Amino acid sequence: MIATLPLTLTAQLAPDLRDAATAWLSWLTKERRYSAHTTSAYLRDFSAFVAFFHEYLGEGPLTLAHLESLDLRSLRAWLAARAGRTLSATSTARAISVIRNFFQFLDKRGLAHNPAARHLRPPKISKPLPRAITAGQAGDAVEQIGEFAGESWVSARDTALLTLIYGCGLRIGEALSLDVKDIPSGNSMVVTGKGNKQRVVPVLAVVREAIAAYLAECPFSLSGADALFVGVRGERLNPGIFQKRVRELRIRMGLPEDTTPHAFRHSFATHLLAGGGDLRTIQELLGHADLSTTQRYTHVDTARLLESYRSAHPRAGKK
């Protein structure tokens, strides 16, 4: 489904820019295959950009000519306004990426050309290191997560889902998008990740067994294109429900506050690296497009090594 321009935005756009924005959203959805969530985020940033310049220029509805005439000083005024609202660097970096994407779209289609937009540079962002729990904690979590469910089949479902996420390094969205037909019968399975890119991941016997145990208890007759993980009404499981379950588990086990379903994916990668796995293989298993994303796990492993060294070496506390 293609996102539509909200009425407040439409009122601020002249017909030529309105048509260009609609074509851009269609391109994001149909050709770039961005998800509805991503497209909506792009539309929010674009709407905020338009709202600023609608007021900043004060010349009525914005036209393509208006956008083409924006100089670097005007664009910096937009960034200064964002800074005045104390928006995070991550938020501003995303907004800059969205606006540059829109101007590139206009340029490639001969609708408008603005060289100044190319000079927009996102702020530097200090990426937080991935969080990981210990292998022992991960094992205990898999065993205990089912204790929060009121029904045995829900318990089996939650156990299977966490076993899958940790055992195969999946994102929660990847796991919940699986259908019954995707269940692995062998030692590997195909997973569809970001950008509809597919990858093959190995599947441990314990993962297959956990899924089989869940399906054996599930009260719904699931097959083929039916969702693999379902809620109490038989519909595809809402990620918020499982995230809440993990929060309950975190409190009970005394795990760090940032222990989320995604933390088990991080733990999967960190434990593989600690066990001798090479970065290229881990990159493929996680579905990272850029090796630099995977390389962050080397910092995590090094940090843990230094922490152990400092706490264990007899001279570590000496000055």
288: annotated active-site residue: yes
Catalytic residue (one of 82, 171, 208, 271) = 171
DSSP secondary-structure letter at 296?
Answer: H
Task: Quote the CA–CA distance of 168 and 172 in Å, as a whole number.
Answer: 11
Number of helices (H), then strands (E), belonging to the chain: the values are 14, 2
297: annotated active-site residue: yes
* Residue pair 255/137 in contact by the 8 Å Cβ criterion: yes
DSSP secondary-structure letter at 198?
Answer: E
Task: Quote the CA–CA distance of 25 and 20 in Å, as a whole number.
Answer: 9
Radius of gyration of the chain (CA): 24
Catalytic residue (one of 194, 252, 299, 310) = 194
Catalytic residue (one of 94, 262, 266, 271) = 262
Catalytic residue (one of 245, 265, 266, 271) = 265
262: annotated active-site residue: yes
Catalytic residue (one of 297, 309, 310, 318) = 297
Task: Quote the CA–CA distance of 113 and 107 in Å, as a whole number.
Answer: 5
* Residue pair 132/266 in contact by the 8 Å Cβ criterion: yes
265: annotated active-site residue: yes
Q: What backbone torsions phi and psi does residue 31 show, to the nearest 5 degrees?
A: -95, -45
Q: Roughly what angle, to the nearest 10 degrees, separates helices 261-274 and 135-144?
A: 140
Task: Quote the CA–CA distance of 174 and 192 in Å, as a whole number.
Answer: 7
Active site residues: 171, 194, 262, 265, 288, 297
